[in-house]
A and B are shown apart, each in its own frame.
Chain A
């Protein structure tokens, strides 16, 4: 049997963290999970550690983007509900 790839743990961790974030995705957790799985499966055959690291970095970038998206969505909702008269919306 083939040995597990040394970066396997990191990839699984990234997947779990993204899956957790996906629970709040505006289009729904199911939609997100499907997309997420597809994105990971597309790269299942990548073996080069450098390339895998690059992909992990991209995943971490997506995490930051999602966090920013959720923050902005909530901030805008609060602003619209509680600060209606503000001109700098």
Chain B
């Protein structure tokens, strides 16, 4: 058996080596054109897939609709990769200029997310595998102020100061947010570069924060992500497609230009992995109130079991400690919840450290003041995890509603 399997492996590797030697150059060069044609053919009609072998999995050509009542990239099952970029508008950009920028960026986003090259795309071959690419736009206070006669949400602006914050202005605020996400990092890089090239005459890059989750296909869709502490992170989250999600996330005020949009908070949270290393497994679970393997509350056995905050251990202490993260993060008022869509970051270490990692805590909520701030205040007052977490960046944007074909993102603010 062992011999036969070795022989098979050897035959396979010989085949693939020969493939590389003889066909590699041709295959590499022809692949983009072949894929492009394939995507076109499948779009154009419902004819059965051609009999030629396909190298790329179906996931690569998966498309998330760009147009709609709400922008994509929020209720979308999180992609494996996401980069958040904030732009600073140039001094001379007025309301008309902002509208021109958004018309261009909207057209780029609509084409790229459909797996087509943008207009004037100098690398069109990089656009053909969208892999669920989404582009989501947000506006900071300066954009809202371009149209003073249309009131913007009162919460739009920096969050109140929290005692745990050690904010670095290099990761804070901004005028325009781009959230670009895809299961394919090359597609993402191309889409983001296309958008930034088209924004260049209007704005400069303020900050750029790439994040990642597990690769698409590594886990079942819908699996709660793990952060770099190893914790299952985001168990209690409103479920897209439910009334609960809609009520918590979308701005319902019909008189507001932001109706159908949402509020976005990005907190860059440094995670001190080197200090976390010194904490044993039980301490790690106590700090959060959940087990590390399944993410179940310490009072339960499965991830989505409801925690029993009243349960006491043999000596009379709460099983889920007073300082535990899940206790502090839960407020009595169920309308004070948020929708989390976070990503990990892992950047080159500096000094003598070996890690420079953390979480891009991205949350969507209709009212930042009513929903996000009280939760953060509760965590600020007491949360054992604060021993290992340091918020270093903070930014708030209003996410405009989606648009229809022919329209552009931001038209409810910038248009007539």
Real binding pair: no
